Structure formats: structure tokens, C-alpha cells
Amino acid sequence: MKLHLLSDRSGSAAENMATDFMLLQRYPAPAVRLRHYGWHRPAFTFGYGQKIEFVRTQVPADEPIELCRRPTGGGVVDHRDDWTYALVIPRGHALEEAPATQSYRLIHEALAVALGWQNVAAEVKRECEPPENGKAPAPEGVCFQRAELYDVVHPRSGAKIAGAAQKRNKHGLLFQGSVARTVCGSDLDWEKCHDDFAATLARLLEVEAEPTPWPEWDDEELYALTEQYASPEWLERR
């Protein structure tokens, strides 16, 4: 099995979510696949099971923001200054069959190693502390306001560096991840970060990484899925 490294693409929030789901559902090769992507406009995404009423309280009301429900779980994610990626592990690979906590931990360990190669202080959070006395905890369901078990954090400050959300189905595992640029520092070479992350993932997954062209899939299906993710019915479904 190979690790296919797909070229960077940017899209609307709905198009990015649709593309990630197509990478899970319609990819023509039995390979692990990794992509980094950008955003056409300021965007927030939120977990499949979250309630839209709560989500709207966490999004700036005075800014034009694209908002989209993800196919994965997790909390509200601000993508205005993050490095976003999707990793798909197909059925049959050992990590796809592992418990969700294990896949979350191992992928984040690989990311922390890659960040460390660029002198970013990063580690995987091994335990969650109780809230401080007299201090209100950060709201649950908001990704970068609190670090959860096996998130990537700064070892001294505890600031959250990276989080992710997962979805498993009969096709495999979709892992949607976000890295906070502001916590990593302004000098980080993000292109090298991608290459280093790919190298650590290849070692973890015991596969060979190779740059791979995008598949020639059904554009009509991608367009229809994008329209679904952009629809009010999908946005407000829970």
C-alpha cells in the first residue's frame, strides 16, 4: 500500500468538506491519501452531531463567515488562520481497524514529531486536568479553546496546537485535522511541515509516500455533494 500525496487545493467550506468525503467514498486506489487545503473565504466548520444554535453563538456575528457542518465529529473549528489537512486510511489497514482513541493519538504523535523537526515545541496531551478553582472552563464543543486527550499541545503553556475529527465507515477512516498557525510561530515553513508530516505518517503506517495526481472522479457527483453541504437542510439538520 502507498501513501498518496495529493497537491494542495483551495475551495469554499462546502467544497472542501465534499472533497474530503469523496476522498473517503470514491477514491479509485487502495491507498492511504493525504491532502492539505486552503479556504476561499473566512470559514468555520463544526461537528456532524453539533446543534446549530450552539454553533452560531461561537461564530463572529459581525464578520462574513462561511459555516459548514463536517461529515466528521468534533467541535467548532476556526479556519481563518489554520493549516488544514485530510487523511484517509482505507479499509484493511491496521490503523483503520484500531480504536478511535488509538488512531487519534498515533496520527497526532506523527504530527508532533514533524513539528519538532522545525523546532516547534509540541507534544501529545496524555491526561486532562480538572478546571482551576474559580476559573470558568472553556466551552465544550469549541476546538481550540480547550485541549482534549491526545490533542497536540505546547509542553509548557499547554496551548492547543492541533486537533482533529474522525469518521469511520465501510470505506475506511477519514481524519480531518487543523493546526493553529499562531501557536506554531511565524517562522515555520509550512511546505516543509507538510513533507515532514508525510514522512512521519509513512513511517507510522509502514507505507511509501509518493506525490500522486488527483483522481478523475465524477465532477457531477462532487458538485451535487458540494450543493448538499452548502444547503440549509445540511447546515441545520440537528
Average pLDDT of span 124-138: 65
> Does the pLDDT value for residue 154 go beyond 60?
yes
DSSP state of 92: T
> Does the pLDDT value for residue 98 go beyond 60?
yes
Reported as a pLDDT band with limits 50, 70 and 90, residue 207 is very high
Alpha-helix residue ranges (DSSP H) falling in 26-67: 52-57
Predicted local confidence at residue 107, as pLDDT:
98
Q: Read off the C-alpha cell for 56.
A: 452560531
Average pLDDT of span 158-184: 95
Q: Pick the closest to residue 179 from 171, 188, 170 (CA basis).
A: 188
Our measurement of the distance from residue 159's CA atom to the centroid of its chain's CA atoms, rounded to an integer in Å, reads 18
Predicted local confidence at residue 136, as pLDDT:
46
Predicted local confidence at residue 194, as pLDDT:
96
Predicted local confidence at residue 77, as pLDDT:
96
DSSP string, 134-182: T-PPPPTTBGGGSPPTT-EE-TTT--EEEEEEEEEETTEEEEEEEEEHH
- Strand order in 43-46's β-sheet? 66-69, 43-46, 77-78
Average pLDDT of span 100-112: 97
Predicted local confidence at residue 129, as pLDDT:
65
Average pLDDT, the chain: 92
Predicted local confidence at residue 43, as pLDDT:
97
Residue % of the chain over a pLDDT of 70: 93
- What the chain holds in terms of domains, given with CATH numbers, is 2-127+143-235 (3.30.930.10)
User: How do 66-69 and 43-46 pair as beta strands?
Assistant: parallel
Average pLDDT of span 193-199: 97
CB of 44 closer than 8 Å to CB of 76 = yes
Average pLDDT of span 51-61: 93
